[in-house]
Amino acid sequence: MAITSSAKKALRASKKKRVFNLRRKSDIEKNVKAFRKLVLAKDKVAAAKLVPVIYQALDKAVKTGYIKVNASSRTKSRVMAALAKIA
């Protein structure tokens, strides 16, 4: 347990940040999972509509420092590669 006042404040800040980080994580995971299901079903139109949503979630995660730029770029690249493979 935190003893000093600065440690207590850091703990409060950490709890607040955790909520936002979990929200970012769930946004990314939920959208990418839905995209992958659409790719498996070969539904190119619906999958293409989900791409901007995924990009937005990744960009917000980078902006807030939840993930790094290269991790975001890698995920975007994999999303577009999967979309291109749909016949």
Gyration radius (Cα) of the chain, Å: 17
User: Regarding predicted confidence, which is higher, 87 or 23?
Assistant: 23
Quick: pLDDT tens for 24-68: 999 999 999 999 999 999 999 999 999 999 999 999 999 999 999
- Tell me if 86 sits within 8 A of 42, measured CB to CB: yes
DSSP structure string for 23-53: HHHHHHHHHHHHHHHHHHTT-HHHHHHHHHH
Angle, alpha carbons 17-19-25 (nearest 5°): 100
Q: What is the pLDDT of residue 2?
A: 87
The domains of the chain, with CATH numbers, are 19-85 (1.20.58)
